Amino acid sequence: MPQMSRQDPLIENHTVDYVPLAERHGKARDLFTLWFSTNIAPLPIVTGAMVAQVFHLNLVWGLLAIALGHLLGGIVIALASAQGPRMGIPQMVQSRGQFGRYGALLIVFFAALIYIGFFISNIVLAGKSIVGIVPAVPVPASILIGALSATAIGVIGYRFIHSLNRIGTWVMGSALLAGFIYIFAHDLPADFLTRGGFNAAGWLATVSLGVIWQISFSPYTSDYSRYLPADIGITRPFIATYLGATLGTILSFAFGLVAALATPEGTEAMVAVKQATGWLGPILMVLFLLNIISHNALNLYGAVLSIITSIQTFASHWTPSIKVRVVLSGVVLAGCCLVALGASADFISQFIGLILALLLVLVPWASINLIDFYVIKRGVYDIASIFRADGGVYGRFNLHAIVAYFIGIIVQLPFANTSLYVGPWANLVDGADLSWLVGLVVTCPLYYCLATRQHTQKARAARLGYTD
């Protein structure tokens, strides 16, 4: 193995600061392997099984809805990821260019909460998986093993995360393919193709689930593309992220659907995977455990970057060091482990319900982010202003973005269909949460009108000042 140069440290030496052009490295295909491998995991497989078990779609209609939902939602995550090479900063720091230095804090807070929620849920899930594989290991010890492993990966950082997922793409992709082959090579139930059918509510719910799934990754996608060379352009990162994110999730959802249909109706999703894959099942369980740990490193990494971003907002001259990231990782680890060790039996389902409800705040953010970057500023931002104490050209607060953001949240509420809140119009399509669609349709044109009006007023004022 070649020795690491001074430019290639084992532990990532950047936190939320700008990555200089001389330190850029990697290729667009790294984004494919990251997002493909990340999404071959138990949670998307369990969610895919819901297509048959909860939404009562048959194989053909289920696969069509899964594919359409992820192909549509994948556009959002790919457009967010493609911003990284141009900006060279984490996604949440970039939000200062849209919301102002202090205006972005609310978004950063929600992002940190989502990361921490998923980190806790996944270490509980990892702990249960370890106990399922090695019953002699106590649950608390299993949770700590899963948490410490994910933390170690997150502390090492960007380069190691990408390296693990390059390996994971081949390993997890091959394992999932072997699982499909095993299922279809053996006798299938007589109702495998006919169980379920088509119903508009279930089909739209599945499409919506796919869209929301992809959007949920958008607040931190450019965190993993910001080290790519700036001259790599927009198209290649977009295509690599789009294909990786959509193919990985479509295959995982489809695997869950197939496993559910290949076993007796009512079988729990992961039990169905074990039963449908025979001797291959235990091997898949071990690989899924490793993938949970690897994927959870992204949640810790994003949580720590969000916390550092919040602190750095009030200390503009402070450039956080590696030690700060390591220490904060330890603090987050300790707090999350305490919550996980005291978690109730239904903690994961309750917390996932909370996280899905919080997605209401991500849709308007994603709308503003994409319109601002691709339509209004066209990828041209003043990086120095983003780190200035007064926000530079972006100011401390951008009221146009903040107003559009809150209106984008408010208009979703009547259509929201979550475990925490159900709006009065949530059942226009039974079981389908269409609030995301309302959020996109309202926020995108609203922010565009407000932002372009602001630019027009500034240009007019500049002309009047010049003539005077």
Q: Binning pLDDT at 50, 70 and 90, where does residue 403 land?
A: very high
Distances (CA, A) of 408 to 88, 96, 204, 355: 28, 18, 22, 18
CA atoms within 13 A on the CB side of 361: 16
Tally of residues, the chain: 468
Mean pLDDT of 28-54: 89
Share of the chain above pLDDT 90, in %: 38
pTM of the model: 0.87
Report the pLDDT value the prediction gives residue 150, as an integer from 0 to 100: 84
Given a cut of 70, is residue 466 above it in pLDDT?
A: no
CA 120 to chain centroid, in Å, comes to 15
* Amino acid letter for position 327: V
pLDDT 10s digits, 249-296: 999 999 999 999 999 988 888 889 889 999 998 898 888 888 888 888
Q: What is d(CA 8, CA 362) in angstroms, rounded to the nearest whole number?
A: 34
Backbone φ and ψ for 57, nearest 5 degrees, come out as -95, 150
Question: Other CB atoms closer than 10 Å to residue 290's CB: what's the count?
Answer: 17
Could you tell me which of 282, 332, 279 has the C-alpha nearest to residue 304?
A: 332
Distances (CA, A) of 143 to 127, 137, 154, 288: 4, 10, 17, 15
Backbone φ and ψ for 197, nearest 5 degrees, come out as 180, -145
pLDDT 10s digits, 296-306: 888 888 888 88
Q: What is d(CA 141, CA 130) in angstroms, rounded to the nearest whole number?
A: 9
pLDDT 10s digits, 329-361: 888 889 888 888 876 666 656 666 666 677 788
Q: Which CATH architecture group holds 21-353?
A: Orthogonal Bundle (1.10)
CA 211 to chain centroid, in Å, comes to 12
Give the residue, 343 or 188, on which the prediction is more confident.
188
Could you tell me which of 154, 150, 123 has the C-alpha nearest to residue 348?
A: 123
CB under 8 Å to 340, separation ≥6 — which residues? Answer: 120, 123, 124, 127, 143, 147, 347
CB-based burial label for 194 (10 Å; 0-12, 13-18, 19+): exposed
| Residue 274 near residue 66, CB atoms below 8 Å | no
CA atoms within 13 A on the CB side of 434: 17
Residues linked to residue 422 through DSSP beta bridges, in sequence order: 417
Backbone φ and ψ for 376, nearest 5 degrees, come out as -90, -60
* Amino acid letter for position 272: A
Mean pLDDT of 74-87: 94
Give the residue, 16 or 346, on which the prediction is more confident.
16
Distances (CA, A) of 308 to 52, 105, 313, 358: 42, 11, 8, 21
CB under 8 Å to 246, separation ≥6 — which residues? Answer: 70, 71, 74, 214
Q: Binning pLDDT at 50, 70 and 90, where does residue 154 land?
A: confident
Domain spans in the chain, listed from the N-terminal domain onward: 21-353
CB-based burial label for 326 (10 Å; 0-12, 13-18, 19+): middle
pLDDT 10s digits, 95-153: 999 999 999 998 888 888 888 888 888 888 888 888 878 888 888 888 888 888 888 88
| Residue 70 near residue 253, CB atoms below 8 Å | yes
Over the chain, what is the mean pLDDT? 85
Report the pLDDT value the prediction gives residue 8, as an integer from 0 to 100: 53
CB under 8 Å to 450, separation ≥6 — which residues? Answer: 400, 401, 403, 404
Could you tell me which of 454, 441, 417 has the C-alpha nearest to residue 367?
A: 441
| Residue 207 near residue 69, CB atoms below 8 Å | yes
| Residue 390 near residue 103, CB atoms below 8 Å | no
CA-angle at 225, arms to 152 and 218, nearest 5°: 90
